[in-house]
Amino acid sequence: MNPTPTNVLSQLLEPVGQMMPVEFANQLLAMRATPEVQTRIDELAEKSNEGELTDEERAEYLAYVDAIDVISILQAKARSVLAQRPNG
């Protein structure tokens, strides 16, 4: 496995996946950003694509990206938990 930040984080979070209760896994998979947060992410993404982010906005956008990476890793682990269930 290539030691990218995402891969390292996935390895560090492996114990979380191993002890994740099924109900929590289901709730984690259903988790979505609120409409307000999604709107803000979309605004920042558009400004980023246009090269128009201020330093403060860039930091905010990167914080969202980092948080989304963590949530995505946890959701992948939740899918793994549910896939291991009988009849899952």
Q: What is the pLDDT of residues 41-88, one digit of tens each?
A: 999 999 999 999 999 999 999 999 999 999 999 999 999 999 988 765
pLDDT at 63: 97
The CA distance from 63 to 35, in Å, is: 18
Inside any domain, residue 20: yes
Residue 31 maps to a domain: yes
Alpha-carbon distance of 73 to 13, in angstroms, equals 8
The answer to the question of residue 66 being in a domain is: yes
pTM to 2 decimals?
0.83
And the tokens for 63?
């914080």
88 lies in a domain?
Answer: no
Question: Number of folded domains in the chain?
Answer: 1
Q: Which helix (H) or strand (E) holds 11?
A: helix 5-12
* Domain, as residue range, for 52: 5-83
